[in-house]
Amino acid sequence: MGNFLVIVLDGFGVGQMPDVPEVRPTDIGANTCEHIFDTNPGLALPNLAKLGLANVVGKEYPGLPYSQDAVYGRSKLMHQGADTFFGHQEIMGTKPSQPKTEAIQPHIDELAAKLKEAGFSVRIYTDEASGLKLLIVNEAVTVADNVECDPGQAWNVTAAIDDVDFETELKIGRIVRSVAKIPRVIVFGGRQVHLPNLLAAIETHGDLIGVNAPKSGVYVNDYHCIHMGYGVDEKVQVPYILGKHGINVHLLGKVADVCANIFGESEPIVDTAEVLARTLEVLKSSENTFICTNVQETDLCGHRQNSKAYADKLSIAEEYIGQIRSALKPEDYLIVMADHGNDPTIGHPHHTREYVPLLISHAGTKPTNIGTRDTESDVGATVANFFGVEVPQNGTSFLSLIRS
């Protein structure tokens, strides 16, 4: 049977979706891949070039020539907006529903009351310039909007976990989740930061107020994270379906934070080199395993609007992708893709609604363009087809197009 490996380069889009002018006018002109090459003339990605990245983008560069041997395509986003959580649920086979979006402001008093009732120390922090409020819990945790993803789609529970243990933070998160009707409550934190670090990273965007996670430093040391999703059924997704059939599932990187995997192994890793080196180890030691890896730092560079840093992370990722391709056994499959865009030149710090690439490697497969897929769930359906199990809730397999 073999292994099936999916590597998600988080936020690596290949051009705006057709509906952008109507639904996300701030994303007009977005093309993460093209603009990274435009702003980094010396960038070379030979391994991604061999996989057909220039073919997908429809434009080549000195460091990204067209490939004559590639198996490639692209996918639309079926989920609303451009979101890591929903992108990965879609990849795993969930049919996206339209989420409710809402700022945290109308619920500040209700949240404060519920947390106090549960025995937590709570005070309200008010931003002097905007008048917007967030909560400080046990002098170590903030409860506020997420100011990095699409507006109103997530609330963050951010902690200095040297000062409050993660289990206590999870209790806070569950109370927040009981109030929230938005897609995600994200509970996370790191060590060697404290409340002043969190407060120094507070930002306001319109009616949103939150702690900018990269600026706060929580990602740097012993990062912990749990995404508490709303209305997602793990039983219709690939990890659950494979797991109940006794097939190994190994999730690495941010996908380990955002996707349920009760039967398999999950390793949340942020550093690009570390997560891909670990992916290579898992691939070499596995048989008949579904492996999915998320490379998160590309997305973080997009949020920072730092094209040079984004290019540097791509260079690291592409070197490991070359090693991973060399380690594939004849029966193994590899798909390199993204979950949405995050154009570092677009002029705002949010995700961008773009097509995502599908770059496929399998021994003996003839060069082919599998076209534009209607949903990222086609990847999950293809994985299920490969392992001979029932398909997930959403998606159509393209395995017959890429078999050798």
Which sequence spans correspond to the domains of the chain? Answer: 4-97+233-402, 105-229
Number of other CB atoms surrounding residue 76 within 10 Å:
18
- Distance CA(189)–CA(93), nearest Å, equals 29
**pLDDT for residue 231:** 66
Which residues neighbour 381 within 8 Å (Cβ) at sequence distance 6 or greater?
93, 391, 392, 394, 395, 396, 397
**pLDDT for residue 147:** 92
**pLDDT for residue 150:** 79
pLDDT in tens, the chain (404 residues): 899 999 999 999 999 999 999 999 999 999 999 999 999 999 999 999 999 999 999 999 999 999 999 999 999 999 988 999 889 999 999 998 776 889 999 999 999 999 999 999 999 999 999 999 999 999 999 999 999 887 898 999 999 999 999 999 999 999 999 999 888 899 999 999 999 999 999 999 999 999 999 999 999 999 998 888 776 789 999 999 999 999 999 999 999 989 999 999 999 999 999 999 999 999 999 999 999 999 999 999 999 999 999 999 999 999 999 999 999 999 999 999 999 999 999 999 899 999 999 999 999 999 999 999 999 999 999 999 999 999 999 999 999 999 97
Which strands make up the sheet holding 224-229, listed edge to edge?
Answer: 122-126, 133-137, 141-145, 154-160, 184-190, 224-229
Compute the residue count for the chain: 404
Sort strands 248-253 and 368-373 into parallel, antiparallel or unpaired.
Answer: unpaired
- Distance CA(360)–CA(101), nearest Å, equals 35
**pLDDT for residue 149:** 81
Structure-block tokens of residue 147: 């100011």
- Closest CA relative to residue 240, chosen from 89, 98, 83, 375: 89
- Domain spanning 4-97+233-402: CATH 3.40.50.620: no
| pTM for the structure as a whole | 0.82
